Amino acid sequence: MGPKSIFIAIVSVFAIGMGAWLSYQLVVPPAMPRTATVLPATAELPEFSLLDQHGNSVGRDAFAERWSLVFFGFTNCPDICPLTLQVLANARQKLSDAGHSPLPQIVLISVDPERDTPGVLAEYVGYFGGDILGLTGDIEELRKLTGAIGIFFDKSFTDDGNYSVNHSAVVLVFNPRAEFHALFSAPHEVDNFIHDLPLIMSEP
């Protein structure tokens, strides 16, 4: 076989290979989130002012420049809140062990600011590992944020005069532009976050 024939053969094999690859890309759709709901259009967060667990004033910029998993709960919550935070902490650790980067920050925003002072929040979020942000503050400032992104919460009084707080159980995903980007509905499982978060965070 002469040089010209060899060249033609190589080009033909390359063309066949490219054609097969393109056909595969057209037939096999890109991976999609399994349980998360990605918003058709992201929503910019409103301006607000809350306190973190160290007593520092923070606003919308607390969610800038990194992905965030945001859960609205309270420290006296008997089950849903601690279970959800543990799921998020476990999922982030497994993503870290698998070499995924960047990793999202975990944020607990208290819907019971009357009892959840910065000091109470600091002790509580510490149970679930480092790099967890706790936010609390004035109820009106809190409602600026929850009202804009559709989070419900309300006091529920008991017969002994105490109260609990009913609240939305979703986990929200904020992107590095401080926008509401996606959400995970309950019940929450570690594997769902491990599968979906890398896909969500790879979006522009």
178 plus 78 within the same structural domain = yes
Say how far apart CA 135 and CA 166 lie, in whole Å: 18
> What is the pLDDT at residue 5?
53
From the CA atom positions of the chain, what is the Rg in Å?
23
- For residue 136, the SS3 value is strand
92 plus 179 within the same structural domain = yes
Going edge to edge, which strands form the sheet with 37-44? 37-44, 179-184, 171-175, 68-73, 105-110, 132-136, 50-52, 57-58
The parent domain of residue 57 ranges over: 37-201
16 or 148, which is more confident? Answer: 148
Q: Which stretch of DSSP H or E encloses residue 71?
A: strand 68-73
Q: Is the pLDDT score of 162 beyond 80?
A: yes
16 plus 77 within the same structural domain = no
Q: Which CATH number is 197's domain given?
A: 3.40.30.10
117 plus 173 within the same structural domain = yes
> What is the pLDDT at residue 145?
97
Taking only the tens place, the pLDDT of each residue in 28-52 is: 556 789 899 999 999 999 999 999 9
Taking only the tens place, the pLDDT of each residue in 80-129 is: 999 999 999 999 999 999 999 999 999 999 999 999 999 999 999 999 98
pTM: 0.84
Q: Which stretch of DSSP H or E encloses residue 141?
A: helix 139-149
Q: Which stretch of DSSP H or E encloses residue 173?
A: strand 171-175
52 plus 23 within the same structural domain = no
2 plus 59 within the same structural domain = no
Say how far apart CA 58 and CA 64 lie, in whole Å: 11
Mean pLDDT of the region 185-200: 96
> What is the pLDDT at residue 160?
85
